[in-house]
Amino acid sequence: MKFYKGLILFIIINFGALGVGSWLMNDGPQSEWYIHLNQAPWTPHGWVFGVAWSSIMLLFSVYMAYLIQTDRSQKVILLFSFQFILNVFWNYLFFNQHLITLGLLNILFLTLLMFYFLVAFKHSLKNKTFYVLPYCIWLLLATSLNLYIALYN
């Protein structure tokens, strides 16, 4: 039963992050500013982002529910909180304030942090570590999109 309480908690927190991030980005991908940027040729269609982030946050919630069962340390809570802040803040930096380079630094830190999650807790979570892998892979794509925009705009 402990697992399911943790899962529900992390689903609420992670989808809350998506909601706050969406609110902070204003019109985001539909804004005139974004539409007129030189974007990477591999940029997915807009609907892909919603599906990807929803799936990633669901899987990350499962990952965190397992992790918090095995390690309730302040370190895990601090790392998760830092991930939350970086995830939400990128939307504000990039879409709201148009700070492409700061957004790139932000997403680079987020990517490194998520790969840290992948590696640091693999011994305690074993195969459950793979629940965080889609987040890591998606962040590599998102970082490449942000980098392309930083270089070509």
Q: Which two tokens stand for residue 115?
A: 């790969």
Burial class (CB in 10 A: 0-12, 13-18, 19+), 32: exposed
Number of structural domains the chain divides into = 1
Contact 80, 11 (CB under 8 A): no
What confidence score (pLDDT) does residue 31 get?
A: 92
What confidence score (pLDDT) does residue 127 get?
A: 96
pLDDT along the chain (153 residues), means of 10: 92 96 90 96 94 97 97 94 98 96 98 98 95 98 98 98
Domain that holds residue 73: 2-152
What's the CA gap between 35 and 37, in Å, rounded? 6
What confidence score (pLDDT) does residue 1 get?
A: 65
CATH (domain of 109):
1.20.1260
Contact 142, 93 (CB under 8 A): no
Name, in order, each residue with C-beta under 8 angstroms of 22's C-beta and a sequence gap of 6 or more: 28, 91
Contact 10, 61 (CB under 8 A): yes
